[in-house]
Amino acid sequence: MNSTLKKLLACGAFCVFVLHACGGAEAPPPANPAGLSGKAVPEAELLFAKAHVLWKGTEACSDPAKALEYLNEALRIEPDFTEARLWRGLALSQLQHWDDAIDDLTAAVRASPTPQAYAWRGLGFFRTGNYLGARRDLDRSISLNASQHRAWNFRGALNMAEGKIEAACADFSRGCSNGDCTGLDNTRTATLCR
């Protein structure tokens, strides 16, 4: 190999190394002062956030009609915003708009079959008296993530409604061990569970 060819190969290898090293670093993500996920149009996410705070960390919304207003607008802007559809299903359920609630919760489960989506659709079915559908979804939620409290407590309430006190107490106990003792505390106060 002549010296010119060796120099060209060495120079080429050096350039590849330098270009790769300089171009290999990822640019830092853009700042996100509003706390948006970037999964939906920012205006839709802001409306969702306004609705979401109305739940204040519970399953009961302090103003479901207002939440519904925000979520309807978010879904008008971003029709495929699954999280907004899921929460709108909860608001509709609380307002006793059963068919629309189940439609939204089912759409959310189909788009993103998460433990939370199954648990909340299970709650929706429970509220409508569809205990078979509720049990199926709550069992599915638990099978996907047994360390979350929500489905255990909802299934405990379902078991209580069906007169299965021992099973209800066991489910409330599991819900409590996963972070929410409300169901267990209430049944202990009523002397139904130990």
Low-confidence ranges of the chain (pLDDT < 50): 4-35
Q: Looking at the domain that runs over 122-194, which CATH code has it been given?
A: 1.25.40.10
Whole-number pLDDT of residue 37:
58
Distance of CA 120 to the CA centre of its chain: 9
Domain locations along the chain: 41-112, 122-194
Sequence letter at residue 12: G
Whole-number pLDDT of residue 135:
98
Instruction: For 161-184, write each residue's pLDDT tens digit.
Output: 999 999 999 999 999 999 999 999
Fold (topology level) of 41-112: 1.25.40
Instruction: For 130-155, write each residue's pLDDT tens digit.
Output: 999 999 999 999 999 999 899 999 99
Alpha-helix residue ranges (DSSP H) falling in the chain: 3-23, 42-52, 64-77, 82-94, 98-111, 115-128, 131-144, 149-161, 165-177, 182-189
pTM of the model: 0.78
